[in-house]
Amino acid sequence: MHGITEILVSTQTKFQKMDIVRSGAFGTCLILDDKMQASSIDEFIYHETLVHPVMLTHPNPQTVLVIGGGEGATLREVLRHKSVEKAVMVDIDDQVIEQCRKHLPTWNQGAFDDRRSIVVSTDARKYLEDTDEVFDVIITDLSEPVEEGPAYLLYTREFYQMALGRLSPKGTLSLQAGTAAIPYLLNFSAVYQTLKSVFPVVAPYQTFVPSFGLPWGFAIASKSLDPRTFSESTVNAMISERISANLSYYDGLTHQGMFGVPKHLRKELDASKIIIEDNHPLFTYH
């Protein structure tokens, strides 16, 4: 799909295969386990989609946990919210963080060095097990659940139960849930059903990420708050009041489109009976 003009990094870390390359059409790209994670041309679409709806769903997010997101762009978007006092980023792979800091500095834009940031290189599940800290927002920016990869146990019901226990009373969680393309809906539908088995409110949504070549699925889960209730004008007002940057992709109208999940997709998500569990993980191969 992508013509590679230069290979900046190609290595096997302790946890996954990592490539940072320059492509002809999409600029610099981060690839983990041979799956596109983001490109410099359109990473803003993915990261604004993942971060801002869940942050605005919470009325006053002060403490945020980012799981994964080694390139620093998710952390960057979190820190654009004026209310944030502390943002903890936990990524298991310090080599990914190191190489992204070196080769993709425009992606984090100083987020790693922000006084509100705490960056921890450890297993996120162990981190949640060991901490008694409570967060207003948890964002999981993980690679897909590839067999023997580092992320597959962070998509299970047991993990989401753990995350629920670390959320404040109005706490919200967001994640990328895999492609929303018709032939490959197994991951999205299973993640949706697994979240529904834990959280009272689960709102699936989607957007198109050009460098992925596919529509991409996301979900917000919470104890009571639902982003689907927000009007276009409400979202625009919250953006103006709460975010200290000009966004390139997300606004009130975009919000309506993302959560306006089409009929065929709603049907597939609701029809799934798969619950992902520690003893019954789900792996993606497409």
- Residues classed as catalytic: 141
Best CA proximity match to 153, nearest among 67, 282, 18, 65: 282
**How many beta carbons lie within 10 A of that of residue 219, not counting itself?**
23
**How many beta carbons lie within 10 A of that of residue 120, not counting itself?**
15
Sorted by sequence, the CB contacts under 8 Å of residue 69 that are 6+ apart come out as 75, 89, 91, 139, 141
Instruction: Report the distance separating Cα 13 and Cα 94, nearest Å.
Output: 9
Instruction: Report the distance separating Cα 215 and Cα 184, nearest Å.
Output: 11
